[in-house]
Structure 1
Amino acid sequence: MDILALFETHAGGENASRICCGLGFENSFRVDAVGQSGGLWLLWRSDNGEVTIIESSEQYIVATIQNGDELLNLVVVYTAPSVSRRSGLWDKLREVIEALEGPIVVGGDFNTIVRIDERSGGNGRLSPDSLEFGDWIQRLSLIDMGFLGNKFTWRRGRTENNFIAKRLDRVLCCAHSRLKWQDASVTHLPFLALDHAPLYLQLCPDVVRDASRRPFRFEAAWLKHPSFKDLLVASWDVQLKTPEALIALQVTLKKWNRDVFGDV
């Protein structure tokens, strides 16, 4: 799936339409900025399947993506930087998410942190809003999908005296999603011209594994092969201690599996 979510676009109307077309996406749903404040866009290509917008506000968009038998509930969040403006947001989002069926992914700019180590600089305490956000995650049994790359997604200031950085952006999911896409990864991309770093979610990344590091597994199906017992008797070195003999047997069994049994 190729889906792009943009926050704080500061654009609307015809200008927003031109930008979406220029980015190469045929489809979009926008909560346009009011003046120079806000703006929340969801863009997608037609080959992603059928995208249905379930609900939206100036701080979130809820969509379902149906591609054949694959279903994904996507909740894109941009919480207002002011605590007063996002009053009641966590309760509303909880109602929205609890009403969804199937795998759920929730991501965006939450404008708050969960733990002290998600901040560099500032005081050493969590705000009441951070504590409320953490409680919201726990009540919904959401799982933080972790990240690769820079620890922080937002920064401000250039000198040691005024520099501050936080992990304000993250991707969460339900247990169904975590089990369905076990190799999914979130990457914090490099900072560009903005104070926020882009997040890149891959549900099915190309995972390259080192075959030499794959642990040895005894296949029960080997026992049914007519030549297995003879191979075992011929390959076991009685002059070696058991651990050493097992290591030697692994090499023989891997080769036999590949050349005779058929690699399964």
Structure 2
Amino acid sequence: MKTDILALFETHASGNRAGQICQGLGFENSFRVDVVGYSRGIWLLWRSGIGDMEIVESTDQFVVAKLRTGMEIVNMIVVYAAPTVIRRSGIWDKLAAVVQGLVGPLFNGGDFNTIVRLDERSGDMGFRGNKFTWRRGRVEDTFVTKRLDRVLCCPHARLKWQEARVTHLPFLASDHAPLYVQMCPVVGRDPDRRPFRFVAAWLTHPSFKELLVASWNVSLTTPEALNELSVKLKQWNRDVFGAIQKRKDGIVRELQIVQDALDLAPSDDMLSQEEVLLKQFEEVLEQKEILWFQKSREKWVALGDHNTKYFHTSTVIRRRHNRVEMLRNDEDQWTYDATKLENLAVQYYKSLIREDRECLNRTFTAIEVEEAVRSMGKFKAPGPDGYQPVFYQECWEVVRESVVRFVLDFFNSGTLPPETNDALVVLIPQVATPERIVQFCPISLCNVLFKTITKMMVLRLNRVIGGLIGPGQSSFIPGRLSIDNIVVVQDAVHSMRRKKGRKGWMLLKLHLEKAYNRIR
């Protein structure tokens, strides 16, 4: 594999001696040696021609380097922490101070000689390959494995190299596995498989409502009208709405020209033009923020705070976290091929049992249809048709008649038009780095039209569900929380401790899998 930068640890050589070793091994033919270890023996080598490297700081446990390639700057910190707690106690404060002083994208990796809990990780790039990077022992009784090596990056680096990934290579001569970082790996994608997605930022464009009214065909069924509208929206997005970032850059350039002219000769026309451009700039910022808020799936941050960078970072991290790149098969072998991964999932979930849907006999009304639509979260993940609830809620006066007719026709006839209940099956990882298909929870992303039908049933069942579900079931019932079980357990343990006498007490902890996690 082609390597541009190579870090070697625990070489037990430094200074001139290390340089002599590199020359003797022929590294100078493909690498230029800049840092040759110190007391810990860290070597940092890079390939000639990719840029110039400057050593910012070097200690006995880490080396800080800055690589310049053209106009770009990449900061790198190579760490080889001491194996004992006392000797590495001050490294974290030193690293924190160094990171604070760096500007630009940063990659920080190496042998940290310590482990952290999964929920403590921050900026971890994840990995492919075996879970552990260090092992010791030749027999089962003494065999120990840990993840001591990792690579971290800052949000700037994650945004710049969104496909960057870390691979744990096989153990060879060392008790540590090599870590291979690819900044721009080759990722094969079929653009034709990317489905249509309604963009909430379209709603802010002044010509959107006009396009909707002109394009919405009331003579068609709602799914047919949505399909026809999606084709026109794609064309409108290319021709009218355009790329938000390009429009933003264009407005900034025009503003610069106008403001330069105002510095030379102020005029009412120029001031009016500047006011128009500033208004357009605010509109573009709002559209960009809504776009990335919609993609990020973040619910706790309100719109209007110009959190575009945060939303963008959240989107990249969520996409990387949700992507299934490899899994172990039944023979405990890693599977990377996309077709084999798809077949693995199909084989595992092919025995899913489809539950019968309960049908209510009472006549539904148009008011209940609107109530169901309004009760959905605006930016809930869309189904196969690509439309989110925000489209229906913001355009209800236009689509109301068609949607109400479609939903009530189903309840009156009991017949569901083809493709209405189509869904996208998405695998949600239940652990930080899933290795097997059983570590995913399947969920179905349904179209809003289908969710409206089921939501109407749910809203009606909510009135009587309290009498149908036992008091011991805490989740998924209004007014009940899973945390209630913790309170009950704590109260039981407290009571047991206060019990006196010869009669003993016992508390059993049972681990029950959720029914929808493993359906067979």
TM more than 0.5: yes
2:37 is aligned, of 6, 31, 38, to: 31
- Structure 1 SS opposite 2:49: helix
Aligned counterpart in structure 1 of residue 65 of structure 2, from 52, 63, 67? 63
Contact 1:27–1:46, Cα closer than 8 Å, also in 2? no
Q: Which runs of 5+ in 2 are unaligned?
A: 244-520
TM alignment of 1:161-180, pairs within 5 A: 161-180=141-160
1:25 CA drift (Å)? 0.8
Distance 1:64 1:178 in 2: 17
CA distance in 2, matches of 1:81, 1:213: 49
Q: Which runs of 5+ in 1 are unaligned?
A: 119-133
- Confirm or deny: 8 A CA contact 2:22 2:28 kept in the other structure: no
Asked if 1:18 corresponds to 2:24, the answer is yes
1:131 paired residue number: none
Partner of 2:46: 44
User: Given the alignment, which residue of 149, 158, 161 partners 2:138?
Assistant: 158
Deviation at 1:182, TM superposition (A): 1.9
Percent identity between the two aligned chains: 55
Query: For the Cα contact (< 8 Å) 1:26–1:44, is it kept in 2?
Result: yes
Task: Let me know the Cα RMSD of the aligned residues.
Answer: 3.6
SS across alignment from 2:21: helix
Counterpart in the other structure of 2:111: 109
* Residue from 247, 253, 260 that aligns with 2:227: 247
Q: How does 1:135-154 map to 2 (within 5 A)?
A: 143-154=123-134
Q: Which moved more, 1:144-153 or 1:209-218?
A: 209-218
Correspondence for 1:238: 219
Q: Which residue of 2 aligns with 1:96?
A: 98
For the residue of structure 1 that corresponds to 2:54, the secondary structure is strand
Q: Closer, same or farther in 2 for the Cα pair 1:56/1:19, shift >3 Å?
A: farther
- For residue 46 of structure 2, what is the amino acid of its counterpart? W
Offset of residue 10 of structure 1: 2.7
Contact 2:30 2:48 in 1 (8 A): no
Q: Deviations over 1:213-242 (max 9, x none)?
A: 31314686xx99xxxx7xx86x959343x1
C-alpha displacement of 1:72: 0.9
The separation in 1 between residues aligned to 2:144 and 2:188, in whole angstroms, is 36
- Helix, strand or coil for the counterpart of 2:108? strand
Residue 111 of structure 1 aligns with an amino acid whose one-letter code is N
* 1: CA distance, partners of 2:187 / 2:72: 20
- Greater Rg, structure 1 or structure 2? 2
The reply to whether residue 216 of structure 1 matches residue 222 of structure 2 is no
Quickly say closer, same or farther: Cα 1:236–1:209, change in 2 above 3 A.
farther
Q: Partners in 2 of 1:71 and 1:19 — Cα distance?
A: 30
> Secondary structure in 1 aligned to 2:156?
helix
Task: Give secondary structure in 2 for the equivalent of 1:26.
Answer: strand
1:16-48: per-residue Cα shift (whole Å, max 9, x none)?
43236267213331115x5xxx41000012222
Distance 1:157 1:89, change over 3 A: same
Q: CA deviation at 1:80?
A: 1.2
* Per-residue CA distance 1:135-186 (angstroms, 9 max, x = gap): xx7xxxx511111111111111233322211111111122222222222111
Higher RCO structure, 1 or 2 (CA under 8 Å, sep 6+): 1
Q: 1:42-69 deviations in whole A, cap 9, x for unaligned?
A: 0012222111001111211101111112
Q: Secondary structure at the match of 1:48?
A: coil
- Whether the aligned pair in 2 keeps the contact of 1:52 and 1:63 (CA below 8 Å) is yes
More moved, 152-161 vs 71-80:
152-161
Q: Structure 2 length normalisation: TM-score?
A: 0.39
Instruction: Give the 3-state SS of the residue equivalent to 2:97 in structure 1.
Output: helix
Distance in 2 (CA, whole Å) between partners of 1:236 and 1:197 is 61
**Distance across 2 between alignment mates of 1:56 and 1:194:** 24
In the alignment, is the contact (CA less than 8 A) between 2:196 and 2:230 conserved in 1?
A: yes
Q: Which amino acid in the other structure matches residue 247 of structure 1?
A: N
TM-score (norm 1): 0.73
Say if 1:20 and 1:57 are closer, same or farther in 2 by CA, change over 3 A: farther
Letter in 1 for 2:27: C
1:252 deviates by: 8.2
- Cα distance in 2 for partners of 1:7, 1:81 equals 13
Q: Structure 1 CA distance, aligned partners of 2:115 and 2:29?
A: 31
Q: Is the 8 A contact 1:4 1:42 kept in 2?
A: yes
**Mapped partners of 2:34, 2:77: distance in 1:** 15
Separation in 1 of the partners of 2:76 and 2:227?
Answer: 48
* Higher strand proportion (structure 1 or 2): 1
Bigger CA drift: 52-61 or 187-196?
Answer: 187-196
**Is the Cα–Cα contact under 8 Å of residues 128 and 167 in structure 2 kept in the other structure?**
yes
**Partners of 1:211 and 1:237 in 2: how far apart?**
31
Pick closer, same or farther for the CA change 1:23–1:78 going to 2, 3 Å.
Answer: farther
* Shift in CA distance, 238/94, structure 1 to aligned 2, threshold 3 Å: same
User: Does structure 2 retain, via aligned residues, the 8 Å contact 1:145–1:171?
Assistant: yes
